[in-house]
Amino acid sequence: DAGVIQSPRHEVTEMGQEVTLRCKPISGHDYLFWYRQTMMRGLELLIYFNNNVPIDDSGMPEDRFSAKMPNASFSTLKIQPSEPRDSAVYFCASSFDRVDNEQFFGPGTRLTVL
Amino acid sequence: SQQGEEDPQALSIQEGENATMNCSYKTSINNLQWYRQNSGRGLVHLILIRSNEREKHSGRLRVTLDTSKKSSSLLITASQAADTASYFCATDGARLAFGKGNQVVVIP
């Protein structure tokens, strides 16, 4: 298996633009997680899905952030409009069977908002 | 929710030395996991220890768990330059809760 796949790996955009981050979880995994990592705040859970259904989105910073999982092999995290404070590394992770099982992380998307 | 807290937060050692880092948590757990993050990469699972286990080994890694003190330690023996990374503990519950990370620098 190729592991968790994220795209793009790097994204540089200007304030106000829409940003879409993509994730393909490991086949067969039924949990998908979106995290944000910054030096100041560390690793933050934004939202997680179980069987394509959002279960906990309490970590989503504000309405500018939205996430979808239209099928078991694809998820998106969208920021619209983007702001400089959204600059961070965004990770997608997946796990099998239980929400607290071992998580497999993707390589991350480094987002820079100018 | 529970959250692991690693201590110390930064550690610099010579290659070949041992590195020890600690993690404390607040509430009861079923298991505790340790992850490693190399610079610019995603987290990688290292080891899981269950609440009924006191010690677990994996290669050069040794993890201990003291549920009475709500703490865990990760020991890396005979460190190598490739061990330079951040190390996170994560506790189970409603979801995995990651600590802030513990940066280890191994000097060749």
Asked whether residue B8 carries a pLDDT value surpassing 60, the answer given is: no
Q: Which residue has the tokens 């409009």?
A: A81
User: At A12, which amino acid appears?
Assistant: V
Confidence (pLDDT) at B1: 29
Rounded CA separation B71/B20 (Å): 13
Q: Which of B40, B43, B93 sits opposite A100 (nearest CB)?
A: B93
Least confident range of A14-18, A69-73, A100-104, B62-66:
A100-104
Least confident range of A26-30, A54-58, B84-88, B98-102:
B98-102
Q: How many residues does chain B have?
A: 108
Q: Per residue in B57-88, pLDDT tens?
A: 999 999 999 999 999 999 999 999 999 999 99
Rounded CA separation B39/A49 (Å): 27
Contact residues, chain B to chain A, C-beta under 8 Å: 30-31, 33, 40-45, 48, 88, 92-96, 98, 100-101
Q: Per residue in B28-67, pLDDT tens?
A: 899 999 999 999 899 999 999 999 999 999 999 999 999 9
Rounded CA separation B102/B5 (Å): 9
Chain B hits for A102, Cβ within 8 Å: 33, 45, 48
